[in-house]
């Protein structure tokens, strides 16, 4: 099968999968760093349980 036959099946239907914007690493790790900061503050205050630990 010639190459042009393979290329004929390619269309723009999958364009959204391959033309994604690059992820900004600084923005992506922002929520992780906030969670780490909240956890450190929680340990410093001595409250090591989850917020819903007492309501089960």
CA distance linking residue 40 with residue 56, whole number of Å: 24
Q: 1-20 pLDDT, tens per residue? A: 677 777 776 777 777 777 78
- The more confidently predicted of residues 46 and 55 is 46
At 25, the pLDDT band (50, 70, 90 cuts) reads very high
Does this model's pTM top 0.85? My answer is: no
CA distance linking residue 36 with residue 33, whole number of Å: 5
Q: Of 37, 55, 39, which is closest to residue 47 (Cα–Cα)?
A: 39
Residue 33 near residue 39 (C-beta atoms within 8 A): no
At 54, the pLDDT band (50, 70, 90 cuts) reads low
């Amino acid at each position: 099968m010639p190459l042009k036959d393979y290329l004929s099946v390619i269309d723009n239907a999958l364009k959204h999968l391959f033309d994604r914007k690059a992820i900004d690493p600084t923005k992506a790790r922002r929520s992780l760093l906030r969670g780490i900061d909240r956890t450190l503050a929680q340990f410093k205050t001595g409250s090591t349980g989850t917020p819903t630990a007492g309501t089960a």
